[in-house]
Amino acid sequence: MNDRPKIDFPCDYPLKVIGLSKPTFEASVIHIVQHHCPEFDADSITPVPSRNGKYASLRFNINAQSEDHIRQLFTELKAHELVQMVL
């Protein structure tokens, strides 16, 4: 059995964060991502509102260093009260 990671790190890793469309949603996500990825450029985010305006998704890439790096970022994002899903 091969225990090699399925992804070669470091790499560009796409993320999509879906949450409640509140004024602080995007700023909160940026704060969390920059905590884990200090080089992250917030201008690279593509925001997409839902049809009814209740939700928003934020699409962006990070420079992932390891599986643990991604796991820690996902855990903190998922714990935020406005975040509904991280893909």
Its domain, for residue 62, covers 20-86
Within-domain flag for 13: no
| Geometric angle at alpha carbon 22, from 79 and 12, rounded to 5° | 55
Cα-Cα end-to-end distance for the chain: 28
Does residue 66 fall inside a structural domain? yes
Is residue 6 in some structural domain? Answer: no
Number of domains in the chain: 1
Q: Dihedral through CA 51, CA 20, CA 44, CA 46, nearest 10?
A: -10
- CA quadruple 71, 73, 70, 17: dihedral, nearest 10: 110
In a domain, 15, yes or no: no
With a cut of 60, say whether residue 86 has pLDDT above it.
Answer: yes
Grade residue 4 by pLDDT with cuts at 50, 70 and 90: low
Integer angstrom CA distances of residue 65 from 9, 11, 62, 77, 83 = 5, 7, 9, 17, 23
For residue 7, being part of any structural domain is answered with no
- Whether 3 shows a pLDDT value over 70: the answer reads no
User: Is residue 14 situated within a structural domain?
Assistant: no
Looking at residue 2, what is its pLDDT?
60
Q: What is the average pLDDT across 30-48? A: 97
The length of the chain, given as a count of residues: 87
Instruction: Quick: pLDDT tens for 41-80.
Output: 999 999 999 999 999 999 999 999 999 999 999 999 999 9
Is position 54 within any domain?
yes
